[in-house]
Amino acid sequence: MDITKLGKFIGALHRRFQIAMTHDLTLPEINASNANFLLFIGEYAPVTAKQIATELAINKGLVSREMTRLEKAGYITRTPDDTDHRTTWIKTTPAGDQACTTIRQIKQALWDQVLGDTSETDLATIYTHLAAWSEQAKRFDQSK
């Protein structure tokens, strides 16, 4: 097997989903990139910008810009920590929770189209491998 094709397939899937998400999203100030941030916040809130950057492997500057956009649009709030003023906690607002529901529905519909004939057993196996590979790849973050 040509292992370089694995990266090509993963990259192509990601780009095609980003394009489809951009096309299907009609929420104000939400794009395919910050939709993923919003979903992460909705699932793990309260979180910090550093946690978002680390878990999603995204540049901290981009996270900061998108958090400003999402806050101005009313999808998130940022609250300074009372004990450590270097830390700001981020969580979704009710509008952010509604947006998360819409984003999940769009993502589900897209994945249903792609994975329609894939068995639950195969999906579970793929998921397990991808999760493990993602964890193993976190070692690359420490080599910077």
Q: What is the pLDDT along the chain (144 residues), one digit of tens a residue?
A: 788 999 899 999 999 999 999 999 999 999 998 999 999 999 999 999 999 999 999 999 999 999 999 999 999 999 999 999 889 999 999 999 999 999 999 999 999 999 999 999 999 999 999 999 999 998 988 755
| Structural Rg of the chain based on CA atoms | 17
What is the 8-class DSSP label of residue 47? B
* Single-letter amino acid code for the residue at 105: Q
Q: Pairing between strand 88-92 and 76-80? A: antiparallel
> What number does CATH give the domain 22-117?
1.10.10.10
SS3 for 135?
helix
Per-residue CA distances from 135 to 20, 21, 23, 45 (Å): 27, 25, 30, 21
Question: What are the phi and psi torsion angles at 100 (to 5°)?
Answer: -60, -40
Q: Measuring CA to CA, which residue among 88, 101, 131 is closest to residue 35?
A: 101
**Token pair 């993963």 in the structure block, residue:** 10
Cα–Cα distance between 48 and 85 in angstroms, integer?
A: 12
Global pTM value: 0.87
Residue 46 near residue 91 (C-beta atoms within 8 A): yes
